[in-house]
Chain A
Amino acid sequence: MEALYILLPISLILGATFLFLFILSVKSGDLDDLDSPAKRILFDDIKKINNKESMHESKD
Chain B
Amino acid sequence: MAELSRESIQQNTSNNKEVSLCFHCGLSTRNPLQFNGDLSKSFCCHGCLTVFQIIEKSELDQYYSIKNDSDQRLFIPTPESKKNFHHYDEANFQSDFVENIDGEKHIKLYLEGVHCIACLWLIEKIPQILKGVIKSHFDFDNSVVTISVKEELALGEVAKLLDKLGYTPHPIKNEDEVSKLKANEERSYLIKLGIAMACMGNILLFSISIYAGLEGSLKATFNWLSFLISLPVVTYCATPFYRSALSSLRNRKPNMDLPISVALIAGTGSGLFSLLTNIGETYFDSLTSLVFLLLLSRYCLLKIRQRGVTSSNLEYFSSFGDVTIIKSLLNRESRSVLAKYVSVGDLLLISEGDIIPADGVIIEGNAFINTSLLTGESLPIKYAKDARVLSGTEVITGEIIVRVNSIGEKTKLGEILANVKKLSKKQTPFASLSDKVSRYFIVLIFLIATLTISYFTLIGYPLIGISRALTLLIVTCPCALALATPLSLSAAIQKLLKVGVVLKSEEVIEKLNKARNIYLDKTGTLTEGKFQVLELGCELTQNFKEIIWTLEKRGRHPIAAALRSYIEYLGPTSEREMTEWLETPGVGVTGIINNQKYHLKRTPAYMGAGTSVSLYEEEDLLISIVLKDKARIDSKKIISKLKSMGMNPFIISGDSKKEVEDLALEVGINKDQAFSEISPEGKLALLSKDPQSIMIGDGANDAMALRKASIGIAVKGSLDISLEAADIYFTRPGISSLCELLDTSVTAVKVIKINMIFSLLFNLVGSVLALSGIITPLMAAVLMPLSSLSVLLSTYLFSKDNS
Contacts and interface: CB of A to CB of B under 8 A. Distances in A.
Given A18-B198, A36-B141, A26 B120 contact: no
B191 A26 contact: yes
Nearest to B303: A34
Contact of B190 (A4, A11, A31): A31
Contacts of A35: 140-141
Contacts of B771: none
A38 B120 CA distance: 12
A39 interface: yes
A1 B218 contact: yes
Interface string B110-129: 00000001001100100000
Nearest to A18: B198
A60 interface: no
Given A23-B194, A26-B194, A36 B139 contact: yes
Interface in A40-55: 40, 42-43, 46, 50
Interface in B174-215: 183, 186-187, 190-191, 194-195, 198, 201-202
A31 B218 CA distance: 39
Interface string A1-39: 100100010011001101100110011010111011001
A19 B190 contact: no
Nearest to A16: B198
Contacts of A40: 120, 124
Contact of A43 (B66, B141, B194): B66
A46 B65 contact: yes
A50 B183 CA distance: 38
Nearest to B187: A26
Contacts of B190: 26, 31
Contacts of A19: 194-195, 198
A2 to B, nearest CB: 11
B138 interface: yes
A39 B140 contact: yes
B451 interface: no
Nearest to B217: A1
B187 A46 contact: no
- Please classify the interface of chain B as helix (H, G, I), strand (E, B), loop, or mixed, using the class held by over half of its residues: helix
A6 to B, nearest CB: 13
Among A19, A23, A29, the one with the most B-chain Cβ atoms within 10 Å of its Cβ is: A19
B194 A36 contact: no
Contacts of A11: 202
- Please classify the interface of chain A as helix (H, G, I), strand (E, B), loop, or mixed, using the class held by over half of its residues: helix
Nearest to B62: A46
Contacts of A43: 66, 121
Contacts of A39: 117, 120, 140
A51 B594 CA distance: 63
Contacts of B139: 33, 36
Given A15-B202, A19-B198, A22-B194, A36 B187 contact: no
Nearest to A32: B183
B490 to A, nearest CB: 16
A50 to B, nearest CB: 8
Contacts of B774: none
Interface residues of A, number: 25
Contacts of B187: 26-27, 29, 31-32
A32 to B, nearest CB: 6
Contacts of A36: 120, 138-141
B19 interface: no
Contact of A12 (B65, B186, B202): B202
A19 B201 CA distance: 12
Contact of B141 (A15, A23, A33, A50): A33
B300 to A, nearest CB: 12
Contacts of A1: 218
A36 B138 CA distance: 7
Contacts of A32: 183, 186-187
A15 B202 CA distance: 8
A17 to B, nearest CB: 10
A46 B141 contact: no
B225 interface: yes
B191 A23 contact: yes
A33 B187 CA distance: 11
Interface in B40-79: 62, 65-66
B306 to A, nearest CB: 11
Nearest to A24: B191
Among A12, A31, A39, the one with the most B-chain Cβ atoms within 10 Å of its Cβ is: A39
B726 to A, nearest CB: 29
A46 B60 CA distance: 13
Contacts of B183: 29, 32
Contacts of A26: 187, 190-191, 194
Interface string B138-166: 11110000000000000000000000000
Interface string B291-328: 00000000000000000000000000000000000000
A29 B190 CA distance: 11
A23 to B, nearest CB: 5
Nearest to A36: B140
Contacts of A15: 198, 201-202
Interface in B636-672: none
A6 B160 CA distance: 65
A10 B201 CA distance: 15
Contacts of B141: 33, 35-36
A44 to B, nearest CB: 10
B149 to A, nearest CB: 20
Nearest to B232: A19
Interface string B671-710: 0000000000000000000000000000000000000000
17 contacts: A8-B225, A15-B201, A15-B202, A18-B198, A19-B194, A19-B198, A22-B194, A23-B194, A26-B190, A26-B194, A29-B183, A35-B140, A39-B117, A40-B124, A42-B66, A43-B66, A46-B62
Given A22-B191, A31-B187, A42-B117, 18 more contacts: A1-B218, A12-B225, A15-B202, A19-B195, A22-B198, A26-B194, A27-B191, A29-B183, A29-B187, A33-B140, A33-B141, A35-B140, A36-B120, A36-B140, A39-B140, A40-B124, A46-B66, A50-B62
Interface of A: 1, 4, 8, 11-12, 15-16, 18-19, 22-23, 26-27, 29, 31-33, 35-36, 39-40, 42-43, 46, 50
Interface of B: 62, 65-66, 117, 120-121, 124, 138-141, 183, 186-187, 190-191, 194-195, 198, 201-202, 218, 225, 229
User: Top 5 A-B pairs ranked by shortest CB distance?
Assistant: A36-B140, A19-B198, A39-B117, A22-B194, A26-B190
